[in-house]
């Protein structure tokens, strides 16, 4: 399978992906795809990005052997890819830096972005401040209440946060609003989409900017262990940190990958965000993929303990990896993620983001069944500072 050549020129990953958008979006997206094709081959762009990734964001991130977690599980060796140590606290800065540099190359003076939990909004506002670009962040009014700390951070960074009241006033509505704003002023504005989602060319652009995670991890594990890992594990909201870790290993057929979705309160309760468990094929925000929708195609409400996992669609490249059998997928429930959050904190002195805790939960499940000479790499996509008060509330409730 030649995964390097995907998507095709129409943005398709097999049956999935593409550019399923209304007419007014076709021109700006086509322009973006054309400009990106030029930039992608330009060594000066890559050099500028590499410099910022190293000196501003803090790359390469360590690949850390989680010795006490490994011992306590008694199976495979577990390594953590420490994206949580990046500037602004998560992998999202990799994509924000790439796309803001791209926006500058295209002569744009303004960037806009959607945000759910606020992490992508913070990453975009951070990089916009670094380059003196005007920055508008669209955020559901409900999310703004739930994530007041990130709203304050974005404002300190000089961004304007626009409350979206339409629909459920959460992430999906914020994306709708950002797309409309992009159509309204695409001459001056670049839309920094935050995950490996949306219409072509976004799933490809975001993947390419996150690919550095796996490129580094592959080199680091070869240096450390002299061989490739047996399993890669990453959580999947939209799919950017997961494809970022997996992509550089896709040609290595002995390396299995597992993407972990938000299982919420359990699949049977219907309160979850596991698109591959009960989702249907459909189109959401311009891409064809698995979506949590009813028989008429209406988007269903999703639930996850972790705001970053709470989206009704999954990145199209993951749907493709699943079809071809190259990728496997599972889910972790809210309780399993919470348990992993506390376990990693106590055993390794690392408080992970609740999103990343889903990946850790999967490792806790599978590592004991693996041999001691096998190797698992878990992507620690972000740190847990943002989740501290939520977890504290929940633990007190359960006492």
Ligand X SMILES: *Cc1c(COP(=O)(O)O)cnc(C)c1O
Q: What is the CA radius of gyration of the chain?
A: 19
- Contact between 99 and ligand X per CB under 6 A: no
Three-class SS of residue 383?
strand
- Contact between 353 and ligand X per CB under 6 A: yes
Q: Quick check: is 381 catalytic?
A: yes
Q: How many other C-beta atoms can be found within 10 angstroms of the C-beta atom of residue 284?
A: 23
Q: Quick check: is 225 catalytic?
A: no
Q: Report the nearest approach of ligand X to the CB of residue 7 (Å).
A: 17
Q: Report the nearest approach of ligand X to the CB of residue 240 (Å).
A: 3
Q: 172, 61, 195, 59: which is closest to 119 by C-alpha?
A: 195
Among the listed residues 195, 306, 357, 381, the single catalytic one is 381
Q: Report the nearest approach of ligand X to the CB of residue 71 (Å).
A: 26
Tracing tokens 């999935």 back to the chain, one arrives at 16
Q: Report the nearest approach of ligand X to the CB of residue 353 (Å).
A: 4
Q: Cα(316)–Cα(16) distance, rounded to whole angstroms?
A: 5
- Contact between 240 and ligand X per CB under 6 A: yes
Torsion from C-alpha of 243, 113, 148, 348, nearest 10 degrees: 20
Q: Report the nearest approach of ligand X to the CB of residue 143 (Å).
A: 13
Q: Cα(118)–Cα(183) distance, rounded to whole angstroms?
A: 23
- Contact between 239 and ligand X per CB under 6 A: yes
Q: Report the nearest approach of ligand X to the CB of residue 372 (Å).
A: 29
Among positions 284-323, residues that touch ligand X (CB under 6 A) are 308
Among 205, 337, 382, 387, binds ligand X (CB under 6 A): 382
Tell me if 126 sits within 8 A of 153, measured CB to CB. Answer: no
Q: 230, 270, 244, 246: which is closest to 366 by C-alpha?
A: 230
- Contact between 381 and ligand X per CB under 6 A: yes
Q: Quick check: is 114 catalytic?
A: yes
Tell me if 82 sits within 8 A of 64, measured CB to CB. Answer: yes
Q: Report the nearest approach of ligand X to the CB of residue 371 (Å).
A: 29
Among 235, 274, 337, 344, binds ligand X (CB under 6 A): 235
The conformation of residue 170, written as its DSSP 8-state character, comes to S
Among the listed residues 77, 92, 108, 172, the single catalytic one is 92
Q: Which stretch binds ligand X (CB under 6 A): 23-31, 159-167, 322-330, 352-360?
A: 352-360
Tell me if 20 sits within 8 A of 199, measured CB to CB. Answer: yes
β-pairing, 110-115 vs 189-191, is parallel
- Contact between 357 and ligand X per CB under 6 A: no
Among positions 175-204, residues that touch ligand X (CB under 6 A) are 195
Sign of the dihedral through C-alpha 165, 152, 127, 344: negative
Q: Which stretch binds ligand X (CB under 6 A): 55-63, 232-240, 323-331, 390-398?
A: 232-240
Annotate 135-164 with DSSP letters as a single string. EEEEEEHHHHHHTHHHHHHHHHTTPEEEEE
Q: Which stretch binds ligand X (CB under 6 A): 183-191, 221-229, 318-326, 349-357?
A: 349-357
- Contact between 28 and ligand X per CB under 6 A: no
- Contact between 121 and ligand X per CB under 6 A: no
Three-class SS of residue 12?
strand
Structural tokens at position 216: 């580094």
What stretches of the chain adopt beta strand conformation (E)? 12-13, 16-17, 63-65, 77-82, 110-115, 134-140, 160-164, 189-191, 231-235, 256-264, 280-284, 287-291, 328-333, 375-380
- Contact between 236 and ligand X per CB under 6 A: yes
Among 7, 214, 229, 238, binds ligand X (CB under 6 A): 238
- Contact between 90 and ligand X per CB under 6 A: yes
Binding site for ligand X (CB under 6 A): 90, 92, 119, 195, 235-242, 308, 353, 355-356, 381-382
Residues with catalytic roles: 92, 114, 381
């Amino acid at each position: 399978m030649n995964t390097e050549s995907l998507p095709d020129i129409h943005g398709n990953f097999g049956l999935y992906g593409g550019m399923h958008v209304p007419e007014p979006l076709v021109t700006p997206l086509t322009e973006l795809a054309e400009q990106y094709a030029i930039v992608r081959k330009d060594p000066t762009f890559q050099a500028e990005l590499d410099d910022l990734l190293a000196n501003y964001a803090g790359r390469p991130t360590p690949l850390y052997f989680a010795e006490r977690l490994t011992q306590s599980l008694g199976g495979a060796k577990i390594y953590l890819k420490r994206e949580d140590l990046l500037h602004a606290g998560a992998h999202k800065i990799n994509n924000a830096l790439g796309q803001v540099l791209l926006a500058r190359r295209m002569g744009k003076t303004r960037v806009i972005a959607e945000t759910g939990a606020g992490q992508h909004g913070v990453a975009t506002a951070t990089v916009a401040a670094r380059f003196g670009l005007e920055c508008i962040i669209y955020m559901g009014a409900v999310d703004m209440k739930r994530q007041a700390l990130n709203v304050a951070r974005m404002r300190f960074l000089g961004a304007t946060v626009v409350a979206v009241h339409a629909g459920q006033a959460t992430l999906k509505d914020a994306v709708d609003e950002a797309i409309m704003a992009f159509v309204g002023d695409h001459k001056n504005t670049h839309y920094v989409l935050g995950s490996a989602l949306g219409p072509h060319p976004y799933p490809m652009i975001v993947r390419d900017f996150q690919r550095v995670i796996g490129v580094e991890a592959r080199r680091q594990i070869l240096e450390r262990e002299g061989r490739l890992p047996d399993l890669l594990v990453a959580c999947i909201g939209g799919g950017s940190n997961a494809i970022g870790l997996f992509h550089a290993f896709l040609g290595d057929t002995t390396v299995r990958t597992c993407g972990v979705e938000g299982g919420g309160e359990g699949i049977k309760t219907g309160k979850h965000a596991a698109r591959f468990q009960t989702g249907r094929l459909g189109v959401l925000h311009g891409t064809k993929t698995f979506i949590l929708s009813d028989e008429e195609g209406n988007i269903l409400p999703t639930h996850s303990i972790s705001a970053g996992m709470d989206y009704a669609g999954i990145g199209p490249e993951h749907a493709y990896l699943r079809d071809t059998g190259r990728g496997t997928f599972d889910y972790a429930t809210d309780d399993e993620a919470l348990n992993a959050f506390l376990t990693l904190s106590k055993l390794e002195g690392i408080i992970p983001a609740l999103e990343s805790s889903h990946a850790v939960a999967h490792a806790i499940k599978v590592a004991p069944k693996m041999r001691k000479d096998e190797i698992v790499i878990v992507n620690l996509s972000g740190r847990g500072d943002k989740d501290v008060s939520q977890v504290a509330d929940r633990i007190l409730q359960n006492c």
